[in-house]
Structure 1
Amino acid sequence: MITRLLLICPLLIAAAATADEIPFRLERPIEVPEREQEDLVAVPLDREVFAATADGFADLRVQNAAGNEIPYLLRRPADTATDTRHRYWTAPDPMLRPLEEGGLEITITLEEDDPQPDGLCLDTPLKNFEQRVRVESSPDGTNWQPLGQPAVLFDYTRYMDVRNTCIELPETAHRHFRIIVDDVTAEQQSDLLELTRRLRGNEESERTEQITVDRRPFRIDRVRFRHDVPTSRIEGLEKRDYPIAGFKQTQNEDQQTVIDIRTRREPLTSFTIATDSRNYSRRAVVQVADSTEADRAGEAAKWREIASATISRIDFKSLQQEEREITFPETRAERYRITIENRDSPPLDINDIEAAGNVYEVVFLAQPGESYRLVYDGDGAPAPEYDVAALRTMLREGYEPTLATPGPETTRTVAPQPFRWSELLNDRRILVTVITILVVILGLGLYQASRRIEAGDETPEAS
């Protein structure tokens, strides 16, 4: 009998642990734009989802109309800035033709693989010059039309290190370009002055000043085209403002302003103190209430510090400086506390508390003609483990998902749940009791087995 109990108890525990099904209490339809083919869809999470989901969003699912789970990727979008990268290449096979009025004409045809240029540069070794240049374009190399306004290339090294030998080009689809340089041979005055003096006795009878003027051609080493390539640069995680649920401030006996803040469990990363007070500098500490375990045990919340900073505002004549933001690692909690050290100074007049934090999105592949919904708020739901390698690759390759929005929140119709054995087995006191009983049963079994062995040894042998 004892042996049977020892075998049956582990089986009962395992069966009870696996028999529980996690119900999700809330759902929201996902309003996806009409689509004719498979598409990436991103659903931003909002305050309702944050308020009802566990840390790490373990109890969040995407389902289709049939109730089947759809694999999704939970991501935090990044803030990006667009930079411009310049790509230069030497113009292929330029054709030159001197003009009768003293100018120079350069004709260039782009090669098949060349992109449309956004500008061009005339590389020259010359210094101290001004040169007027015009650019024309043609779709066929025969009919020419002006491309932009005439430009002046210059080098003022004589006065300052200022130089420009490039021209911006307006957008065009033409592949033939003609550059016209006016007065390709220019006169340049020498920096040196030749002075001749004639003396008669000790007196100057004649003075002659002579300036040398050099006729210098505008030498062009090469013509380069420029193509602008936009590039994206990640500046950090995307942030957004999250209105708080409310706050209350009090003054305690330690000359501190205590601000109790309530939120809806948004993924916050900063608080900003809104105050009309001026000319102050105070130390502020942000704490979060670890209230979940305390509420279960019926105890008061325990406060844990997550950040500290100096908030300040200097406002005197032309001196304007302020720092009112306190940043901290991403935290999801219902209750926060900011403690401001006033010492003997009067407390600040707090008008509001502004909160900001990270943005979260659920990204998945949506099929044409299919409807989807978010389901969440399931106690004890394990975190899903989906194969999202394909989704990551699509996003990394630059495929931007279509933005969808969650609809109104509704409570799901959930059948009455049977007693959940897993909750009973997760109780430490019950586990200790069960283990103690099993140890006693095992001890009794070993004791009885030893008695039987001893009884067998004492049986007399047959003669």
Structure 2
Amino acid sequence: GPDAGDLPGHCLYCRGNASSAGIVRLHQIQRKVCPTPRFGKGAAMKACVRIALLAWPAAVLCAGPQPEKTANFSFFKEIVIPSGAAAKIAAVELDEDVLAAAGEDYADVRVFDEGGTEVPSLIRRRTLARTVARETPVAMATLAFERLADNRIEVIVGPNSDGRRIRAVIFHTGQKDFEKQVIVHGSPDRRDWTQLADAQPIYDYSRFIDLRNVRVEFPDSSFAFYKIEISKITESRQSPLVQIVRQIRGDADASRIESASFLSEDFRIERMEFLELREFVEGNEPVIRAYGTRNLAVTNDIGARTTIVAFESRRAPLTQLTVLTPSVNFSRMVDVEALDDGTEAGKPAWRKVASSSLTRIDMGNVKKDSTAISLGGPRRFSHYRLTIHNLDNPPLAVASVAATGEVHEAIFLFEPGRRYRLFYGGENQRPPRYDIGAVLQNAGEADTFECSCGREELNPARKLSRAARFSGKGMLVAAVILMVAALVWLIAATLKRVEAD
């Protein structure tokens, strides 16, 4: 007989009545004859799994192509590049339409060209190299002091050897509750004096109100010496101690005498600081512009003794709010709170962003107007609320609130002859990372040119993308149904064949 190794993998099937002529001996069967597989339930299941694995990629492909990158954004604007632009870096301002739809970190603001290719860009605040005037101190020594008649003193300081143009003097003192008059003279040689300021007030009314002024201004001058005269240098103050003398006759007071004493208090000046106005060139000065506010609502809460001023913004990067009111002679504390649109309905989470004071004084020589509130940096919220603490004073008549803030821009490298679009308003976008980000970050004003934006348009690719995803799901379901039907037919045919064998 044949070797045992010749038998595995060889099968002989006979149908009907076999004669001697139809007999085939095992050693006559060639080794390369392909065996006929036996279809059992396990083999049929393996075949089904193979078909399913092959059909799944086809079903996924039937779902349609993946959406383009621009389909992740809700809006776009055409970027208008001026003709003859010489610089290679374009800068486009993010206007209020873009700010209203963009996220907090601007991760959903991108630049694309006409072919749908993303162009590396950078969002930054716009700055200008501008000349800024700033007051700086001028060092001068005290040369003479004299106490004059009529409760006055005279101080001579100098020399102003560099000829600096001095415009103001500040009196540094730790005293409270005072009011003085100051006269300023200037001289080139301490013999001929020119009057620069006459009876200018310095005061501190902190006993009654948060109001203080220790600065005297005068026309710019470059005198070598300055003479300062201060009136009412010594003031009498009533002592808080009161002496009471009672005379008693029998069980009743015959007389009662109350006497108060007065204390003399001299005005002590720790130092005088003279200021000049100098010009500096700064390259990182942010550009500030006015932004609109809407839906102003003013409510007076009599019980809480407050005035609530609420308004809305389009999420512009605000840095300062100014309360516009016709009221005069007031000084009130104010708190600023902010709220974004994403807050859960019915549970407002107001966030305190600033506190300040609103002051307007117009009484004779005392004038002060400070109704601006600094927000301490750019703030992007959609709702703002100002709480003015009136205490027992009548409410202020608030007419409106003016808002100013930084200008933010997108800068990118451009090629002449190509068209660009600014896309924005996406969801769940991660901040982009470009290898030329450092190059764009260091671009100065001279290296860029300003572009403008067209009107806001809905992104049609976003609508098509949603429709494509919807139709893709339908096609996927149909493909799965067809695949299952094919598998059922294949399994049934296989089982039928096995039973027949």
Residue in 2 aligned with 1:380? 428
CA distance 1:280–1:376, change in 2 (3 Å): same
Matches within 5 A, 1:314-329: 314-328=361-375, 329=377
Q: Letter of the 2:336 partner, please give it.
A: V
Aligned pair partner of 1:33 in 38, 61, 82: 82
Q: Identify which range, 382-391 or 263-272, moves more after superposition.
A: 382-391
Residue in 2 aligned with 1:258? 308
Residue in 1 aligned with 2:165? none
Q: Letter of the 1:256 partner, please give it.
A: T
Aligned pair partner of 1:399 in 446, 466, 484: 446
Residue in 1 aligned with 2:464? 415
Matches within 5 A, 1:450-461: none
**Contact in 2 for aligned 1:312/1:323 (Cα 8 Å):** yes
Counterpart Cα distance in 1 of 2:457 and 2:341? 27
Cα shift at 1:362: 0.9
Counterpart Cα distance in 1 of 2:438 and 2:284? 24
Residue in 2 aligned with 1:68? 117
Cα shift at 1:83: 7.7
Cα shift at 1:292: 1.1
CA distance 1:327–1:158, change in 2 (3 Å): closer
Residue 42, structure 1, aligned to residue 121, structure 2: no
Residue in 1 aligned with 2:291? 242
Cα shift at 1:419: 11
Cα shift at 1:301: 1.3
Counterpart Cα distance in 1 of 2:392 and 2:103? 42
Counterpart Cα distance in 1 of 2:385 and 2:288? 22
Residue in 1 aligned with 2:73? 24
Counterpart Cα distance in 2 of 1:57 and 1:342? 39
Cα shift at 1:80: 3.5
Unpaired runs of 5+ residues, structure 2, are 1-65, 134-187, 193-278, 470-501
Matches within 5 A, 1:51-450: 51-82=100-131, 232-234=281-283, 236-252=285-301, 253-294=303-344, 298-328=345-375, 329-387=377-435, 388-395=437-444, 399-413=446-460, 414-417=463-466
Q: Residue 358 of structure 2 aligns to a residue in which SS?
A: strand
CA distance 1:302–1:419, change in 2 (3 Å): farther
Counterpart Cα distance in 2 of 1:62 and 1:419? 24
Counterpart Cα distance in 2 of 1:240 and 1:416? 37
CA deviation vs aligned residue, 1:407-443 (integer Å, no higher than 9, x gap): 11111112152799xxxxxxxxxxxxxxxxxxxxxxx
Cα shift at 1:236: 3.4
Q: Letter of the 1:384 partner, please give it.
A: P
CA distance 1:273–1:79, change in 2 (3 Å): farther
CA distance 1:319–1:79, change in 2 (3 Å): farther
**Contact in 1 for aligned 2:87/2:448 (Cα 8 Å):** no
Q: Residue 299 of structure 1 aligns to a residue in which SS?
A: coil
Cα shift at 1:262: 0.5
Counterpart Cα distance in 1 of 2:368 and 2:91? 40
**Contact in 2 for aligned 1:291/1:302 (Cα 8 Å):** no
Cα shift at 1:352: 1.0
Counterpart Cα distance in 1 of 2:397 and 2:378? 27
Q: Letter of the 1:282 partner, please give it.
A: R
Counterpart Cα distance in 2 of 1:78 and 1:28? 23
Q: Letter of the 2:104 partner, please give it.
A: D
**Contact in 2 for aligned 1:35/1:369 (Cα 8 Å):** no
Counterpart Cα distance in 2 of 1:360 and 1:159? 57
Cα shift at 1:77: 2.1
Larger radius of gyration: 2
CA distance 1:58–1:316, change in 2 (3 Å): same
Cα shift at 1:67: 1.2
Cα shift at 1:383: 1.5
Cα shift at 1:38: 6.3
**Contact in 1 for aligned 2:90/2:412 (Cα 8 Å):** yes
Cα shift at 1:243: 1.5
Counterpart Cα distance in 2 of 1:30 and 1:268? 24
Q: Residue 342 of structure 2 aligns to a residue in which SS?
A: helix
**Contact in 2 for aligned 1:42/1:364 (Cα 8 Å):** yes
CA distance 1:351–1:419, change in 2 (3 Å): same
CA RMSD of aligned residues (A): 3.5
Counterpart Cα distance in 2 of 1:37 and 1:399? 10
**Contact in 2 for aligned 1:279/1:314 (Cα 8 Å):** yes
Unpaired runs of 5+ residues, structure 1, are 1-18, 85-155, 161-229, 421-463
Q: Letter of the 1:270 partner, please give it.
A: Q
Cα shift at 1:24: 0.9
CA distance 1:322–1:372, change in 2 (3 Å): same
**Contact in 2 for aligned 1:38/1:365 (Cα 8 Å):** no
Q: Letter of the 1:346 partner, please give it.
A: P
CA distance 1:305–1:416, change in 2 (3 Å): same
Counterpart Cα distance in 2 of 1:341 and 1:158? 52
**Contact in 1 for aligned 2:85/2:449 (Cα 8 Å):** no
Cα shift at 1:79: 4.5
Q: Residue 350 of structure 1 aligns to a residue in which SS?
A: coil
**Contact in 1 for aligned 2:340/2:382 (Cα 8 Å):** no
Counterpart Cα distance in 2 of 1:270 and 1:36? 34
CA distance 1:278–1:418, change in 2 (3 Å): same
Q: Residue 399 of structure 1 aligns to a residue in which SS?
A: helix
Tell me the number of residue pairs that the alignment of Structure 1 and Structure 2 aligns. Answer: 266
Counterpart Cα distance in 1 of 2:394 and 2:85? 64
Q: Letter of the 1:335 partner, please give it.
A: H
Cα shift at 1:381: 1.6
Which runs of 4 or more aligned residues in structure 1 lie more than 4 Å from their structure 2 counterparts after TM superposition?
Answer: 19-22, 156-160
Q: Residue 100 of structure 2 aligns to a residue in which SS?
A: helix
Counterpart Cα distance in 1 of 2:318 and 2:106? 15
**Contact in 1 for aligned 2:322/2:401 (Cα 8 Å):** yes
Q: Letter of the 1:385 partner, please give it.
A: R
Counterpart Cα distance in 2 of 1:284 and 1:70? 45
Cα shift at 1:281: 0.4
CA distance 1:332–1:157, change in 2 (3 Å): closer
CA distance 1:345–1:83, change in 2 (3 Å): closer
